[in-house]
Amino acid sequence: MTSRNSGTGKATSWLDRRLYPAFSDHWDDALFRAKVLDHLDASTVLLDLGAGSGIVPHMDFKDRAGLACGLDLDPRVAANPFLHEGRVGDAERIPWPDDTFDVVVCNNVLEHLSRPAAVFREVRRCLKPGGTFLAKTPGSLHYVPLLARCTPYAFHKWFNQKRGRAGEDTFPTLYRANSSRSIHRHCRSAGLTVDDVDHVEGRPEYLRFSVPSYLAGFVYERAVNRTRLLSHFRVIIIAVMRKPRHPS
């Protein structure tokens, strides 16, 4: 690491302490975990949709649920240490019977779906009546998804590698279910109800590579958190959806 990089790192750490003392790395995953835990107990049968290889420790619900299952196209899901059972498969054809799960969760998955309507229908099918579907995903109007649409996939892999994520854990994004409106639309189509859609903006993770970019992110964060009128420009959406207990 060069002295310039070292200096930037020290300045970033100082800004972290000064501007965001309550935030830690992966603060968004911690928020999502807390939301999921509100819906778990020792008898819960859970499906982590898009579980991957288990690179996000906040998604470890193995000891908090009765059964933690996972599904992903990535064959590494079979060895995911956070799961009792991991299967390789497509979210459009979830390989479990109807009414299997009490809770389905997906963390940073909706943005990758080419046919989200089909996935929402499958989630409804495999949820028990009254079961809960929780999702965390980037908001499509935030500057990160907006820039992602303008840059090639190779750049996404390079940028995430600079941030410490392996290239094989970066996937193409489509952003077809990444707004409150689209989530409500897909839920109506699938027969799910929406309990809550929360928009969250926090520490500007993608802009912490330099002091000027960090400060620009700080100004943006303060602006979009000042009023609910700008809430749709916040970085994270956390949605809580439900399968009705009785057919409508």
- Give the DSSP letter string of 99-157: T-EEEEEEES-GGG-S-HHHHHHHHHHHEEEEEEEEEEEE-TTSHHHHHHHTS-HHHHH
What is the pTM assigned to this prediction? 0.90
Report how far residue 137's alpha carbon sits from residue 179's, in angstroms, rounded to the nearest whole number: 9
CA nearest neighbour of 86 among 137, 48, 38: 48
Asked if residue 155 has pLDDT above 80, the reply is: no
Question: What would the pLDDT profile of 218-237 be if each residue is shown by its tens digit?
Answer: 999 999 999 999 999 999 99
What percent helix, strand, coil does the chain show, rounded to 5? 45, 20, 40
Give dist(CA 106, CA 98) in Å, integer: 19
The per-residue pLDDT for 4 is 40
Mean pLDDT of 189-199: 98
Res. 172 pLDDT band, cuts 50 70 90 = confident
The CATH classification of domain 3-242, taken from the options 3.40.50.150, 3.40.50.620, 3.50.50.60, 1.10.3720.10: 3.40.50.150
What amino acid is encoded at 168 in this protein?
Answer: E
Whole-number percent of the chain with pLDDT over 70? 89
Instruction: List pLDDT tens digits, range 80-103.
Output: 999 999 999 999 999 999 999 999
Q: Side by side, which strands form the sheet with 236-242?
A: 85-88, 67-72, 45-49, 101-107, 127-138, 236-242, 193-200
Position 143 scores a pLDDT of 95
Which pLDDT does position 21 carry in this prediction? 97
**pLDDT tens readout for residues 12-32:** 999 999 999 999 999 999 999
